Amino acid sequence: MAQKNYTGISVEVNEEGYFLDSTVWTKEMAVEIAKELELELTDLHFEVLNYLRTRFNAGEALTIRGVGKSGVIDIKGFYGLFPGAPMKKAAKIAGIPKPASCI
């Protein structure tokens, strides 16, 4: 597996750059990952990231529809925050594996 360096910490990632161990993730790392994806994070981004991390840690399947029903943000807003591939980008920034719902 590959290694990435975020905030001075070496993190194991898969071939697509997703964390292999979500417990090493920090908000500071999220900011660096977002910069790689040409995004600047806001408080709303972090609300979505925290929602995804909570659901992932609870063993729930992550889907765009689920995010839209989360009460945190609607689907249109989710696409606005993470344009192009919102679930893939959000999962990568949140330090969790790519959801099975993503191709």
Q: Which residues are catalytic?
A: 102
Instruction: Give dist(CA 29, CA 27) in Å, integer.
Output: 5
Closest CA to 30 of 11, 15, 58: 11
For 32, what's the count of Cα atoms within 13 Å in the CB-facing half-sphere?
Answer: 14
Q: Which two tokens stand for residue 98?
A: 């790519």
Quote the CA–CA distance of 36 and 89 in Å, as a whole number: 11
